[in-house]
Structures are given as structure tokens and as C-alpha cells.
């Protein structure tokens, strides 16, 4: 019988990584330089491993092969096959990440036989003055983009946002973006590891070499459409489901709870992921399974679960994500 599952985090030491992920997740001893924690992953070579209950030690890949639509949902398997379609991460940037873009499904399939990458960010914490880049600040075309990368002026036409906890950015494939130093972020993205690096601030490694740029690949992947505001605006409410993102790849809600909430998923036909952003809670399903979770944990609710009851202790904040 399937039940709510937690997974062992896959911690990534990265040159730009900070020291916030371990304390946030309650991991001791604290490791320095952890840039990412892959919370739920079906990226080859980085399969998540179950951390609780009878299926402890099984990989997400094994679960999908054994349980299929019971775990994922029939509709989800029709759309994405036997791939878990989302990658859930925490990201802690001590330094600026490179400016990058991800291809859409069509281009990624043609070039890499892969899904594209649409994603979203939720800012958990931010140092004073910390910011990120999303989209263009003025209209340019592919020709001007190539020229600006060549003469190091691409930053002049990118939209920078100073950020605070709770800020949300939806990043469809094709949108130029980068996380800035001092940002601690939860990221929900399509299962894809394809990134085109546009600009790396002309940084050099110990041998004086710059990192590889994917100028030509990125040129055709970028969506040059201008938007007046790339930030997601929402009104926070306690004990309500507040929608943060809704696209064909995922729907994400924010649940800020100080009292019990019942979620009915009997008509959903999709798995549900809960990312605990603050506090503690118990999550109980209609089969009698119960799991206690705390800040920094991610829980996978199988698609064959009909009802979930969340009881905060005394309060908890979750991001809730599913397909549909």
C-alpha cells in the first residue's frame, strides 16, 4: 500500500553554494558550500530514495516501475510517460548564478530528446539588497542579444528585482533569468537538466578560463517578448489555498495554516507534493497513514490517495504542487 513518502535529500556542493540549507532542513553537522538540495528528483543519476515506511530504500524510479499510475496518476502518465515530471529543489546562492535560459519542450526534444524546463521560484529568505533577474527591461531581438553578449552589455537590458521572503516568480521556458547572491529559494521545475548559459559576468577560473557560454543555442531558445512585470502577485491568506502558479506542467498553491485543513483529491488523478516551508504538521491520508513533517521536508502523496488532512502544530506553511 502506498503512503505519504519523504526522501533523502541529494545535497549538491557547488562553488556558489552557501550555508543555509542544512540549518533550514535541520541537518547536522552543517555543511558549507551546499548550493542545492534536490528534494524530489527523477533525473538520471540522481534518483530520490524513500526515507520512511515500508518502502524505505527504494528509489523513485523503482516506485514508478512498480506502481505506475497508482503513484503518478493515469492522466499524468498519459502526458509524461513513466517520468516523474517535476524536480523539487532548495537553492542557496552565496554568489550570483550565471544568466541562463531553458528551452521549451519542442526545442529540447529536437536537440536533446528531453523535456524543456518551465519553473517557478518561491523566495524563502533573502539577504538585504539581494535580488534576481527575470526577463528583459527593454525590447531586444536575437541579433542585439548576440551583440550584447559579445560586448558584455547584456546585463544592461535584464530586469532585476530586489526580493523578500514570500516573493514568487514564474519562469516559462524561454525566459532569461538568474538567481542573485543572498537568495535562498524553493524551486519547482520540469524534470530537465538542460540549461543554456548566456553570461557569467566575465568570471575566470583558477587557470584564467571563462566558463562555456551557449550563445547560439540560447539565441533560438529565448522568448524576446517583453512583459511589464515578471513578478507573480498574490494575496496571502491564512487557512486558505492561495494559487501561486497554474500551467500545464504544474499547479502550485500556498497553504499557511494555524488550524486543520482537509484536502479532497479524489477527482485530481495526480500525485501531490507538499514542501514544508515553515513550522511542523501531521499529514494523514484516507487509508489511515500519518506522517509528521517539519520545515525543510518534502512529502510525496501518491495519486491513489483521495483525502489528506493536514494538522499544523501549532502552525505550518506549505507549498502544494500537483499536475492539473
pTM exceeds cut of 0.85:
yes
Q: Which of 94, 148, 175, 197 is catalytic?
A: 197
Q: Indicate whether 71 and 182 sit together in one domain.
A: yes
- Cα–Cα distance measured from residue 305 to residue 285, given in angstroms and rounded to the nearest whole number: 7
Q: Indicate whether 50 and 191 sit together in one domain.
A: yes
b/e sequence 40-52, b meaning 16+ C-beta within 10 Å: bbbbeeebbbbeb
pLDDT at 203 over 90: no
Q: Respond yes or no: is residue 197 known to be catalytic.
A: yes
Q: Indicate whether 194 and 249 sit together in one domain.
A: no
Q: Structurally, how many domains does the chain consist of?
A: 2
Residue 204, pLDDT score: 80
What cell does 162 get? 530586489
Residue numbers belonging to the annotated binding site for Zn(2+): 102, 119, 177
Q: Indicate whether 219 and 270 sit together in one domain.
A: no
Residue 220, pLDDT score: 94
Domain boundary among 178, 210, 230: 230
Nearest to 165 by CA among 151, 177, 182: 182
For Cα atoms 300, 192, 159, give the angle at the middle one, nearest 5 degrees: 105
Residue 209, pLDDT score: 84
Going by pLDDT thresholds of 50, 70 and 90, the confidence category of residue 239 is very high
pLDDT at 206 over 80: no
Domain boundary among 230, 250, 269: 230
pLDDT at 235 over 90: yes
The three state secondary structure string of the chain is: CCCCEEECCEEEEEEEEECCHHHHHCCCCCCCCEEEEEEECEECCEECEECCCCCCCCEHHHHHHHHCHHHHCHHHHHHHCCCCCEEEEEEEECCCCCEEECCCHHHHHHHHCCCCCCEEEEEEEECCCCEEEEEECCCCCHHHHHHHHHCCCHHHHEEEEECCCCCEEEECCCCCEEECCCEEEEEEEECCCCCEEEECCCCECCCCCECCCCHHHHHHHCCCCCCCCCCECCCCCECCEEEEEECCCCEEEEEEECCCEEEECCCCCCCEEEEEEEEEEEEEECCCCEEEEECCCEEEECCCCCEEEEEEEEEEEEEEEECC
Q: Indicate whether 170 and 313 sit together in one domain.
A: no
Q: Indicate whether 198 and 307 sit together in one domain.
A: no
Q: Could you tell me the residue range of the domain that residue 38 belongs to?
A: 3-230
Q: Indicate whether 189 and 309 sit together in one domain.
A: no
Q: Indicate whether 69 and 156 sit together in one domain.
A: yes
Q: Indicate whether 153 and 252 sit together in one domain.
A: no
Residues 159-184 have a mean pLDDT of 98
What CATH number is given to the structural domain containing 300? 2.60.120.10
**Residue 156, φ and ψ in degrees, nearest 5:** -65, -20
pLDDT over 70 percentage in the chain: 100
Domain boundary among 198, 230, 262: 230
Q: Indicate whether 14 and 144 sit together in one domain.
A: yes
Q: pLDDT tens across 288-320, in order?
A: 999 999 999 999 999 999 999 999 999 999 999
Q: Indicate whether 211 and 292 sit together in one domain.
A: no
Q: Indicate whether 257 and 224 sit together in one domain.
A: no
Residue numbers belonging to the annotated binding site: 102, 119, 177
Amino acid at each position: 500500500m502506498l503512503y505519504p513518502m519523504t526522501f533523502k535529500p541529494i545535497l549538491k556542493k557547488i562553488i556558489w553554494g552557501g550555508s543555509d540549507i542544512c540549518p533550514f532542513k535541520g541537518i547536522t553537522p552543517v555543511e558549507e558550500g551546499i548550493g542545492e538540495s534536490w528534494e524530489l528528483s527523477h533525473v538520471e543519476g540522481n534518483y530520490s530514495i524513500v526515507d520512511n515506511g515500508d518502502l524505505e530504500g527504494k528509489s523513485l524510479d523503482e516506485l514508478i516501475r512498480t506502481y505506475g499510475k497508482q503513484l503518478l496518476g493515469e492522466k499524468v502518465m498519459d502526458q509524461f510517460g513513466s517520468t516523474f515530471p517535476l524536480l523539487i529543489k532548495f537553492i542557496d546562492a552565496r554568489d550570483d548564478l550565471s544568466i541562463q535560459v531553458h528551452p521549451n519542450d519542442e526545442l529540447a526534444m529536437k536537440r536533446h530528446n528531453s523535456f524543456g524546463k518551465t519553473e517557478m521560484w518561491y523566495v524563502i529568505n533573502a539577504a538585504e539588497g539581494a535580488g534576481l533577474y527575470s526577463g528583459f527591461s527593454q525590447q531586444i531581438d536575437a541579433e542585439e542579444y548576440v551583440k550584447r553578449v559579445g560586448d558584455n552589455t547584456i546585463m544592461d537590458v535584464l530586469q532585476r528585482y530586489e526580493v523578500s521572503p514570500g516573493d514568487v516568480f514564474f519562469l516559462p521556458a524561454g525566459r532569461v533569468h538568474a538567481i542573485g547572491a543572498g537568495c535562498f529559494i524553493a524551486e519547482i521545475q520540469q524534470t530537465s537538466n538542460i540549461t543554456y548559459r548566456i553570461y557569467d559576468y566575465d568570471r575566470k577560473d583558477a587557470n584564467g578560463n571563462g566558463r562555456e557560454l551557449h550563445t547560439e543555442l540560447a539565441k533560438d531558445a529565448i522568448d524576446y517578448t517583453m512583459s511589464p512585470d515578471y513578478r507573480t502577485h498574490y494575496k496571502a491568506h491564512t487557512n486558505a489555498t492561495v494559487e501561486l502558479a497554474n500551467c500545464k506542467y504544474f499547479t502550485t498553491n500556498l497553504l499557511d495554516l494555524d488550524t486543520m485543513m482537509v484536502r479532497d483529491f479524489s477527482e485530481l488523478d495526480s500525485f501531490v507534493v507538499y514542501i514544508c516551508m515553515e513550522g511542523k504538521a501531521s499529514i494523514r491520508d484516507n487509508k489511515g497513514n500519518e506522517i509528521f513533517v517539519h520545515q525543510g521536508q518534502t512529502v510525496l502523496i501518491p495519486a491513489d490517495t483521495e483525502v489528506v488532512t493536514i494538522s499544523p502544530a501549532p502552525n505550518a506553511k506549505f507549498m502544494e504542487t500537483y499536475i492539473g
